[in-house]
């Protein structure tokens, strides 16, 4: 029985011009739901009937959409200079957001994603924020609050909108404030996840934080303007640090002139092609399979796995760990590894049956370094590259990899990620061992060397090293297909090791 995907409620009070609301709703329809199930809750606070009709149309064309009428009848003014708020409007919106929070609690959603109706999102946004494992985190967006001003992010470090770091009682000159402000802006332009003091308008909140009592109610002895400030102060007081993600910046349609940038944003952030994991496994349940697949499921869209004659519960573990992801699992009754090219051809053939776009070919003991998950959408989104090559580092324990004259795999780039082209005639290296994971002629396609690194954990335990030594002695005792000296060096008692740094 499959586990249910994470349930996320996307909530939004809506008072919006039709031309902007239309683009906002189009952006929501692009959101990936590979590992989540999205529901939508809108408070229709519109004065323009066309905007209300757009919400109804969205509800009719999509699943799990609820549109509730607003209890208010206020006019909210905005023009090409600014947006004009007053105290009543602020707490009206706060009340609607708190009602959305209550819906998320009542229906036991795993997450709530609150977003303003003039924000456009990259398709990966919600799933990516969930992977950050933060209880409260916003995706960054940039706005010129005045037409001639510089863009600023919607996050800040302290108070109402202080965008530089300053400890309590620290006195700074204007020059020091400017320098620190520029440092903050530069950091916000750099892909990463950073702790901040305030955020809003595009925020993921975990069930844990919701149950703890985060909300937008006014804190009466706090003079800060805006409901987001009161939310952030309350969250910090409840022990929840606030974070911003800057990997997939959203787009803010703050004024009608920003409409000109919509198509560019949508084209730049178009949904990434399908990424298929292709893997061969055998008796991996007590090794690294759980660690590997737990990481891989964060960014793959489907998987093809060949269980090459396992005698343990490896196949069942694959089904468990990839629950909710399309999995084509093939079980070989007896192992084909003694003739590797036959096994690799089977792996290739079974993977092609799933109509892949990009194929990531990894073993069950290989894991990319952490920043791979941030880079992969851009890599497979490129049109000019068909093959990516990476360096593989052979770990000899949990923290160090081996480097000596016989162990230099990490100085060579090898293909692990390719785009499948139906119009290309693939050819294999016909050898029973060390035939390669992919067809031998893929370098006729456009390829690129990546600086991202791949950790190979298969040598990290003494028992694994002994098993592989014995296997090579059995399959290739004379080193015909590999390096006999390297085989012998597997048992070296004092190899040269180098500490790994992420």
Q: Whole-angstrom Cα distance, residue 401 to residue 455?
A: 9
Give me the percent of the chain exceeding a pLDDT of 70.
Answer: 97
At a CB cut-off of 8 Å and minimum separation 6, what does 117 contact?
12, 13, 14, 15, 16, 20, 21, 24
Pick the CATH number of 275-499 from 3.40.50.2000, 3.30.110.30, 3.40.30.10, 3.90.550.10: 3.90.550.10
Residue 77 CB-density burial (10 A; 0-12 exposed, 13-18 middle, 19+ buried): exposed
Give me the percent of the chain exceeding a pLDDT of 90.
Answer: 73
Q: What are the residue ranges spanned by the domains of the chain?
A: 6-267, 275-499
Residue 18 is inside which H or E element, if any?
helix 18-29
139: pLDDT confidence band, cut at 50, 70 and 90?
very high
Candidates 357, 327, 348, 328; CA nearest to 422 is 357
Q: What is the DSSP string of 46-97?
A: -SSHHHHHHHHHHHHHSSSEEEEE-S-----EE-SS-EE--HHHHHHHHHHH
Q: Whole-angstrom Cα distance, residue 25 to residue 317?
A: 39
Q: What was the pLDDT predicted at 1?
A: 36
Report pLDDT digits (tens) over 88-130. Answer: 888 899 999 999 999 999 999 999 999 999 999 999 899 889 9
CA 207 from chain centre, in angstroms, equals 19
CA torsion sign for 256, 260, 264, 267 is positive
What are the b/e assignments for 98-109, b being 16+ CB within 10 Å? Answer: bbbbebbeeeeb
Whole-number Cα distances in Å, 29 to 35, 124, 271, 310, 381: 16, 12, 11, 42, 19
Residue 433 has pLDDT above 70, yes or no: yes
Q: What was the pLDDT predicted at 85?
A: 66
Residue 8 CB-density burial (10 A; 0-12 exposed, 13-18 middle, 19+ buried): buried
Q: By the 8 A CB rule, do 39 and 143 touch?
A: no
Q: By the 8 A CB rule, do 140 and 22 touch?
A: no
DSSP 3-state percent helix, strand, coil across the chain (nearest 5): 35, 25, 40
At a CB cut-off of 8 Å and minimum separation 6, what does 337 contact?
282, 308, 343
CATH class of 6-267: alpha beta
Q: What is the DSSP string of 300-368?
A: -SEEEEEEES-SSSHHHHHHHHTTTS-EEEEEESS--GGGHHHHHHHHHHHHHTT--SEEEE--TTEEE
Find where tokens 């390297």 sit. Answer: 486
Q: Whole-angstrom Cα distance, residue 415 to residue 391?
A: 9
Q: Which two tokens stand for residue 490?
A: 């597997």
Q: Whole-angstrom Cα distance, residue 468 to residue 487?
A: 9
Candidates 502, 500, 480, 479; CA nearest to 490 is 479
> What value, to the nearest 5°, has the Cα angle with vertex 430 and ends 429 and 435?
55
Is residue 234 helix, strand or coil? helix
Candidates 200, 209, 234, 210; CA nearest to 220 is 234
Report pLDDT digits (tens) over 181-208. Answer: 999 999 999 878 899 999 999 999 999 9
Residue 428 has pLDDT above 80, yes or no: yes
Which residues are bridge partners to 306 per DSSP? 280, 330
Mean pLDDT over the full length of the chain: 92
pTM: 0.67
29: pLDDT confidence band, cut at 50, 70 and 90?
very high
Q: Whole-angstrom Cα distance, residue 207 to residue 205?
A: 7
Residue 81 has pLDDT above 80, yes or no: no
Q: Whole-angstrom Cα distance, residue 132 to residue 163?
A: 23
Report pLDDT digits (tens) over 329-360. Answer: 999 999 988 888 999 999 999 999 988 999 99
- DSSP conformational letter for 408: -
Highest mean pLDDT among 8-22, 253-267, 311-325: 8-22
Candidates 253, 222, 211; CA nearest to 91 is 222
Once rounded to an integer, what is the mean pLDDT over residues 435-460?
94
- Give helix then strand counts, H and E, for the chain: 14, 22
Q: What was the pLDDT predicted at 78?
A: 62
Q: By the 8 A CB rule, do 426 and 482 touch?
A: no
At a CB cut-off of 8 Å and minimum separation 6, what does 338 contact?
432, 475
Q: What are phi and psi of 327, to 5 degrees?
A: -130, 125
């Amino acid at each position: 029985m499959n586990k249910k995907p994470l349930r996320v409620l996307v909530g939004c009070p809506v008072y919006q011009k039709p031309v902007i609301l239309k683009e906002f709703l189009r952006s929501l329809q692009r959101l990936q739901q590979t590992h989540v199930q999205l529901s939508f809750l809108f408070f229709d606070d519109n004065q323009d009937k066309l905007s209300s009709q757009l919400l109804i149309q969205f509800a009719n064309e999509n699943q799990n959409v609820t549109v509730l009428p607003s209890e208010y009848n206020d006019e909210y003014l905005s023009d090409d200079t600014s947006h004009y708020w007053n105290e009543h409007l602020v707490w009206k919106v706060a009340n609607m957001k708190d009602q959305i929070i209550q819906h998320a609690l009542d229906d036991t959603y795993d997450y709530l994603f609150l977003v303003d109706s003039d924000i456009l999102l990259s398709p990966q946004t919600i799933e990516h924020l969930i992977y950050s494992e933060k209880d409260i985190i916003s995706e960054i967006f940039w706005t010129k609050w005045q037409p001639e001003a510089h863009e600023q992010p919607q996050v800040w470090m302290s108070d109402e909108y202080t965008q530089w770091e300053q400890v309590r009682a620290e006195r700074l000159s204007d020059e020091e404030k400017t320098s620190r402000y520029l440092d903050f802006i530069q950091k916000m332009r750099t892909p990463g996840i950073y702790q901040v003091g305030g955020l809003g308008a595009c925020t993921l909140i975990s069930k844990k934080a919701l149950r703890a009592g985060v909300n937008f109610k006014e804190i009466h002895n706090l003079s800060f303007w805006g409901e987001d400030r009161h939310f952030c102060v309350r969250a910090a007081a409840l022990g929840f640090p606030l974070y911003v993600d800057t990997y997939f910046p959203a787009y803010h349609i703050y004024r009608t002139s920003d409409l000109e940038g919509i198509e560019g944003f949508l084209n730049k952030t178009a949904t990434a092609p399908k990424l298929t994991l292709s893997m061969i496994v055998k008796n991996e349940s007590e090794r690294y399979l759980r660690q590997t697949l737990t990481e891989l499921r964060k960014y793959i869209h489907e998987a093809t796995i060949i269980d090459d004659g396992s005698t343990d519960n490896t196949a069942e573990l694959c089904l468990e760990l990839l629950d909710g992801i399309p999995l084509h699992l093939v079980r070989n009754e007896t192992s084909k590894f003694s003739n590797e090219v036959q096994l690799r051809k089977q792996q290739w053939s079974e993977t092609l049956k799933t109509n892949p776009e990009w194929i990531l070919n990894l073993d069950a003991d290989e894991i990319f370094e952490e920043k791979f998950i941030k880079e992969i959408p851009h890599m497979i989104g490129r049109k000019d590259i068909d093959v990516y090559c990476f360096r593989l580092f052979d770990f000899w324990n949990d923290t160090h990899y081996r480097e000596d004259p016989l162990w230099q795999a990490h100085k060579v780039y090898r293909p692990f990620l390719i785009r499948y082209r139906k119009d290309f005639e693939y050819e294999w290296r016909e050898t029973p061992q060390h035939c390669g994971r992919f067809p031998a002629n893929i370098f006729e396609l456009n390829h690129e060397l990546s600086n991202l690194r791949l950790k190979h954990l298969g040598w990290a335990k003494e028992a694994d090293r002994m098993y592989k030594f014995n296997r090579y002695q059995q399959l290739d005792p004379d080193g015909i297909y590999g390096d006999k000296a390297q085989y012998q060096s597997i048992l070296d008692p004092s190899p040269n090791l180098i500490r790994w740094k992420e």
